[in-house]
Every structure is written in C-alpha cells, then in structure tokens.
Amino acid sequence: MTAVEQASGEFHQLLREHRALLSQYGSVQARCSSVIAAQARRIAVLEAEAIRLRAAVITRDTALAVARENHASLEATVPGLPRRAALARKVESLVARVHELMRDRMRSQWRAEAASTVTTSDLPSDAPGRIAMQDTDLHAKAVLCVGSDGSAATAAQQLIEQAGGHFLHHDGEDQHDPAGLEASLIAADLVICQTGCVSHNAYWRVQDHCKRTGKPCVLVGQPQAMLFVRPSAQGSTVDVA
C-alpha cells in the first residue's frame, strides 16, 4: 500500500468519525432543547402561581386592614368596649364553672342515690315491698330496661317475655340519640334503670320522666338483680319499704 492510499484511508476514517460525532451532537442538542423547553414551561407555571399568591396576600392584608379600621371605629363609638368584652369573657368563664360545679353536685347526688339503692342481694326473702319479677303482672305490658349490662338485659328479657310482657332496651347512653331514649320511655309501662350502667344524663332523664308521668321506675344498683319493687306513694321512682 502506497503512502497516498494510506493517507486516503485515514481521511475516510476521519470523515466517518466526524459524521458519528455530528450525529451524537445533534441528539444531545435535541435533548437539551427539550429540557430547556420543559423548564421554561415549569417556570411559567411557577411565576403564575407566585402572582396568584401575591394577589391573595394583598387581598388578605387589605381585608385585615379594613377590619382593624372598623374595629377601631367601633371602639371609638362605644365607650368601654374592651372592658365590656373582657367582662363578657369572664362571665362565660364563670358560667362554665357554675355548670361544672352543678354537674359535680348532680354526679355526687347520683352516686349517693346509687349507693343507697337496695338490691335483691341486700334484702331478705321476706322483706316488705319486695316482689319478684315472675310474680309481677307483666302481661301485655312494655318494660324498658335502661343500662349497658348485656347479660342482665338478656336475663330480664327472658323473664319479661315468659310473663307475657314486651321487652324494650336502651343502653343508657343518650349523647348521640336523646330522642331514642325519650321515645322508649314514652312507649314503656314500667322502667328498670341500672344505676351503675347508665350515663349521668340518661339517669336524670329517666328520673324526670317517671316523676312527671307517675310511671313506675325500678332503680337497681346491681344489674344482675332484676326485681320489681312496689312504687312509693308518689307513684314515680320505686322505693323499698
């Protein structure tokens, strides 16, 4: 191979390498252009979002300034407004405290009444005023059992249905369904209240309903002791002689 042929071969090799480099350069340039275009679109979106947020901040600051001006004008037209507002807050705090104290007092009364309730385990078999449920005329009567003790409610249901009565039950939690408890009380002829298994509000709702309507109400401190006790002379809450 002569020197000329060798030089010609090297030249063609350089041309092929040059073409390959130009092709790669074109591909890289296209990718760079695509990335730049995507970044430009993203920048445009972010700039629009920044403009929207700045407008929102301006609107908020303007509304806040107007509210402060109105508040200042109101304070100027109503003498002693800050003091009145402070007194109103104090009154609200005192009212909340009074309610809390009343709830504590009612809770204490509830516990005292529940503790003083006489159950079947406390009574001798011949105690006056004690009537077993089986001996009570429950035929065609609706008996409402208020309390969350499921086993006691099941036992009471068996006895009531065996005696020909209609069993009603409420779990004694009236926070979410106060109307349900009231409807059950209205539908019942007799009420059994498990004093240890009902909410504070439900207990007082049962007491109030029975006192207003004269409906017999049995208070049992131990849910498993399901007895009827003869009503007191007032005909409301059941007492034990």
Strands, DSSP E only, in 139-214? Answer: 142-146, 166-170, 190-194
Task: Output DSSP code: residue 237.
Answer: B
Q: Across all residues in the chain, what is the average pLDDT?
A: 76
CA distance 46 to 29: 26
CA distance 52 to 167: 65
Pairing of strands 190-194, 217-220: parallel
Tell me what percent of the chain is helix, strand and coil, each rounded to the nearest 5. Answer: 65, 10, 25
- Decide which of 234 and 181 is more confident: 181
pLDDT of residue 225: 44
pLDDT band, residue 241 (cuts 50/70/90): very low
Predicted confidence (pLDDT) at residue 161 exceeds the cutoff of 50? yes
Beta bridge partners of 167: 143
CA distance 141 to 165: 5
> What global pTM score does this model have?
0.41
Q: Which of 27-31, 80-84, 153-157 has the highest mean pLDDT?
A: 27-31
Rounded mean pLDDT of 91-99? 87
Rounded mean pLDDT of 29-37? 92
- Decide which of 201 and 70 is more confident: 70
Q: Pick from 221, 232, 224: which is nearest to 133 by CA? A: 224
pLDDT band, residue 63 (cuts 50/70/90): very high
Tens of pLDDT along 111-158?
665 555 444 444 444 433 333 444 457 778 899 988 877 777 787 888
